[in-house]
Chain A
Amino acid sequence: MIERVIEHWLAKVNERGYEMALCQALTAQGHTILRRPAHGGTEHGKDIVSRDRQNKYHCYQLKTGNLSKSEWRAIRDEVAELVEVPIQESNVPQNVAFTPHLVTNGTVTDPVSLEVKARNGHWKRRGFRPLDLILKDNLFRMFLDLQGKFLPSTPTDFEVFLRLYLGDKTAPLNRDEFCLFLSSFLPNKALRRKAELSRALAATAILSSYILTGYQEHGNHLAIAEGWMLVLAHMLRLAEQHQGSQADWMQSVTLCRDAWEGAVRSLVDEAVRSPNWIEGDPMVDNSVHGIRSVLLLGYLSCDAIYNRRGESPPGGEDNILVKVKENLNGLSRGYWGESASPFVFAVILFLWLRGDEELAVKIAADLIGFIARENHPNRRLGVPSPYYEPSRLLAIQFGEDFFDHRQTFVGRSFTMQWFVEFVARRGRKRLLKTLWADITHITKACFVPDELRDFYFWSVKKGTEVARQWGRPQRWEALVEQSNLNDLPRLLLVEQFPDLVLPFLLVYPHRATAELMRFVERRASQNFGLIKAP
Chain B
Amino acid sequence: MLPDYPEIKRKLQRGLGRRFELLIDQKAPHVARIRRIGQAEGDKFTFEDEEGTIVEKGFHRFEGRVEVPIKLPLVEINKTVAKQIEQAAETIAAQSEGLLFTAHKEAVESVGNVFDARGQQYNPLMMWDMIEKVHIDFDENGRPEMGIVVMHPDTLARIRPQIEKWEADPVLKKRRAEVLAKKKEEWRDRESNRTLVG
Which listed residue (A406, A409, A411, A465) contacts B45, Cβ 8 A?
A465
Q: Which residues of B contact A387 (CB under 8 A)?
A: 40-41
Counting CB contacts under 8 A, is B195 at the interface?
Answer: yes
Counting CB contacts under 8 A, is B21 at the interface?
Answer: yes
Counting CB contacts under 8 A, is A281 at the interface?
Answer: no
Complex contact B21–A405 (CB within 8 A): yes
Q: Give the Cβ gap from B97 to chain A, nearest Cβ, in Å.
A: 15
Complex contact B48–A468 (CB within 8 A): yes
Counting CB contacts under 8 A, is B160 at the interface?
Answer: no
Complex contact B197–A475 (CB within 8 A): yes
Q: How many A-B residue pairs have CB under 8 A?
A: 100
Give per-residue flags for B172-198: 1 if the beta carbon is below 8 A from chain A beta carbons, else 0: 000000000000000000110111111
Complex contact A408–B44 (CB within 8 A): no
Q: Give the Cβ gap from B42 to chain A, nearest Cβ, in Å.
A: 4
Give per-residue flags for B26-42: 1 if the beta carbon is below 8 A from chain A beta carbons, else 0: 00000010111111111
| Interchain CA distance A407-B37 in the complex, whole Å | 6
Give per-residue flags for A227-252: 1 if the beta carbon is below 8 A from chain B beta carbons, else 0: 00000000000000000000000000
Complex contact B45–A466 (CB within 8 A): yes
Counting CB contacts under 8 A, is A497 at the interface?
Answer: no
Among listed A17-25, A40-48, A162-170, A433-441, interface-contacting one: A433-441
Size category of the A interface is 35 or more
| Interchain CA distance A409-B40 in the complex, whole Å | 12
B residues 42-73 near A (Cβ < 8 Å) are 42-48, 52, 56
| Interchain CA distance A405-B21 in the complex, whole Å | 7
Q: Which residues of A contact B196 (CB under 8 A)?
A: 429, 432-433, 436, 473-474, 476, 479
Q: Which residues of B contact A510 (CB under 8 A)?
A: 40-41
Chain B: residues with Cβ within 8 Å of the partner, total of 31
Complex contact A476–B197 (CB within 8 A): yes
Counting CB contacts under 8 A, is B107 at the interface?
Answer: no
Counting CB contacts under 8 A, is B105 at the interface?
Answer: no
Complex contact B41–A460 (CB within 8 A): yes
Q: Which residues of B contact A35 (CB under 8 A)?
A: none
Q: Which residues of A contact B25 (CB under 8 A)?
A: 405-406
Complex contact B38–A462 (CB within 8 A): no
Counting CB contacts under 8 A, is B127 at the interface?
Answer: no
Complex contact B42–A477 (CB within 8 A): no
Complex contact A467–B47 (CB within 8 A): yes
| Interchain CA distance A405-B31 in the complex, whole Å | 13
Counting CB contacts under 8 A, is A220 at the interface?
Answer: no
Which listed residue (B38, B46, B194) contacts A440, Cβ 8 A?
B194
Complex contact B37–A409 (CB within 8 A): yes
Residue in A closest to B197 when the chains form the complex, CB atoms? A473
Q: Which residues of A contact B191 (CB under 8 A)?
A: 437
Q: Give the Cβ gap from A480 to chain B, nearest Cβ, in Å.
A: 9
Q: Give the Cβ gap from B30 to chain A, nearest Cβ, in Å.
A: 13
Counting CB contacts under 8 A, is B18 at the interface?
Answer: yes
Known A433-B196, A473-B195; contact A467-B46, beta-carbon cutoff 8 A: yes
A residues 418-458 near B (Cβ < 8 Å) are 429, 432-433, 436-437, 440-441, 443, 447, 449
Complex contact A464–B45 (CB within 8 A): yes
Counting CB contacts under 8 A, is A410 at the interface?
Answer: yes
Q: Give the Cβ gap from B32 to chain A, nearest Cβ, in Å.
A: 8
A contact residues vs B (CB 8 Å cutoff): 378, 385, 387, 402, 404-412, 429, 432-433, 436-437, 440-441, 443, 447, 449, 459-469, 472-477, 479, 510
Q: With A443-B48, A464-B45 given, can you name 11 additional A-B contacts, CB distance below 8 Å?
A: A378-B139, A402-B18, A404-B38, A405-B36, A433-B196, A441-B194, A473-B193, A473-B194, A473-B195, A474-B196, A477-B198
